[in-house]
């Protein structure tokens, strides 16, 4: 039986941080061995909020470098850039006729963006979920690894697909959000205020591109307190977050030793952060260096972008043929 199709995209709008890495990219890496995977750089989506394209090339190259350095393998998954597949834009056009102004205006992410950029409420922003639906449906993907904030977009993609199928015939399978259940990792920012994110204060977010000393500095500044008032009491979330990070990057014995200290009420957060900082540096350094070297290897990047684009396009062309046929947009 053919493997199920998985698809996800990331906008080239900033540096990848630990939240993206452990919350998203590590899942992609695992999925590429189990499913038929498509992962792409959503450059068209970035135009809805970042119309200045002077740094786009550099941002796309860096994101590709970071994804490949994190373990995405172009022999296991199709890795491509959205704008290299014009069939996505074509499907977006058709789906726009099936998307209603009212539902687009009610989308939570749209309302957020209207608040954030009142001077640039463009039609692309309004139809962002339609383009995202086209990204997914063009490959007839059924599993889409995304965070909670994207679930509404997925629901809209299913609605557009259902409307299409109802009107023109069954062509598009319905896509659902996907995660590995309990292993979905959420990383909080280092001051304990919400999740680590691109738009947060940079000093409480650790990026894959951070230099060793900057990583140390950020971790040493991470929020802690004077320790559990009662040994073994539940951990505040900013402390839990440090343990989560330690479990992700430190040797298992190290993490369990500090956990023991916590349970016994003998935890010294200064020591724990020093240890975590060193283990984090050891973890990130090879990824950062590999990402940099890929980003600078323009010949390799060209090869990746062209090869991925070709594969993605070949598949997209097949879907567009079915779509046009179903819509009776074929005249010869």
* Chain residues in the site for ligand TRP (CB under 6 A): 7-9, 11, 42, 45, 132, 135-136, 144, 146, 150
Strand, helix or coil at 310? helix
Restricting to residues 17-56, name those near ligand ADP by CB under 6 A. Answer: 19-20, 23-24
Nearer to ligand TRP, 150 or 254 (CB): 150
Q: Which of 93, 72, 94, 53 is nearest to 9 (CA)?
A: 72
Tell me the helix, strand and coil percentages in the chain, rounded to 5: 60, 10, 35
Nearer to ligand TRP, 24 or 272 (CB): 24
Question: 135 touches which of ligand ADP, ligand TRP, none (CB within 5 to 8 A by kind)?
Answer: ligand TRP
CA distance 287 to 303: 21
Instruction: Determine which one of 54, 186, 198, 298 is catalytic.
Output: 198
Smallest gap, in angstroms, from Cβ of residue 132 to ligand TRP? 4
Restricting to residues 129-168, name those near ligand ADP by CB under 6 A. Answer: 146-147
Q: Token digits for 96?
A: 């726009």
Instruction: Determine which one of 113, 143, 223, 273 is catalytic.
Output: 113
> Considering Cα of 176, then 181, then 183, then 189, what sign does the dihedral take?
positive
Q: What are phi and psi of 150, to 5 degrees?
A: -100, 0
CA distance 11 to 124: 14
Nearer to ligand TRP, 11 or 61 (CB): 11
Contacts of 92 (CB under 8 A, 6+ apart): 127, 130, 131, 133, 134
Does the footprint of ligand ADP cover residue 72 (CB under 6 A)?
no
Question: 156 touches which of ligand ADP, ligand TRP, none (CB within 5 to 8 A by kind)?
Answer: none
Question: 195 touches which of ligand TRP, ligand ADP, none (CB within 5 to 8 A by kind)?
Answer: ligand ADP
Question: 41 touches which of ligand ADP, ligand TRP, none (CB within 5 to 8 A by kind)?
Answer: none
| Catalytic residue IDs | 113, 195, 198
């Amino acid at each position: 039986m053919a493997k199920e199709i998985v698809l996800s995209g990331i906008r080239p709008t900033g540096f990848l941080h630990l939240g993206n890495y452990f919350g998203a990219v590590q899942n992609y890496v695992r999925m590429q061995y189990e499913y038929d995977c498509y992962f792409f750089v959503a450059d068209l989506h970035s135009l809805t909020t970042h119309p200045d394209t002077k740094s786009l090339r550099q941002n796309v190259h860096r994101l590709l470098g970071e994804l490949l350095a994190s373990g995405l393998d172009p022999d296991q998954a199709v890795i491509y850039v959205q704008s290299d597949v014009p069939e996505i834009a074509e499907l977006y056009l058709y789906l726009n006729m099936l998307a209603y102004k009212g539902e687009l205006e009610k989308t939570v992410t749209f309302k957020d963006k209207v608040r954030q950029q009142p001077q640039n409420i463009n039609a692309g922003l309004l139809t962002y979920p339609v383009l995202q639906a086209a990204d997914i449906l063009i490959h007839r993907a059924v599993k889409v690894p995304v965070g909670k904030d994207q679930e509404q977009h997925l629901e809209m993609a299913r609605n557009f697909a259902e409307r299409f199928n109802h009107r023109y015939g069954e062509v598009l399978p319905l896509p659902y959000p996907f995660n590995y259940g309990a292993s979905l990792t959420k990383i909080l920012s280092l001051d304990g205020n919400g999740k680590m994110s691109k738009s947060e204060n940079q000093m409480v977010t650790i990026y894959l591109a951070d230099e060793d000393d900057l990583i140390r500095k950020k971790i040493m500044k991470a929020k802690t307190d004077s320790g559990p008032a009662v040994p073994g009491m539940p951990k505040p979330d900013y402390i839990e977050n440090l343990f989560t990070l330690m479990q992700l990057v430190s040797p298992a014995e190290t993490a369990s030793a500090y956990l023991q200290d916590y349970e016994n009420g003998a935890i010294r957060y200064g020591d724990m952060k020093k240890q975590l900082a060193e283990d984090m540096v050891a973890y990130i350094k090879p990824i950062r260096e590999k990402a940099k070297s890929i980003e600078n290897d323009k010949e390799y990047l060209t090869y990746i972008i062209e090869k991925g684009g070709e594969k993605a396009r070949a598949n997209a062309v097949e879907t567009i043929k079915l779509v046009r046929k179903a819509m009776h947009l074929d005249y010869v």
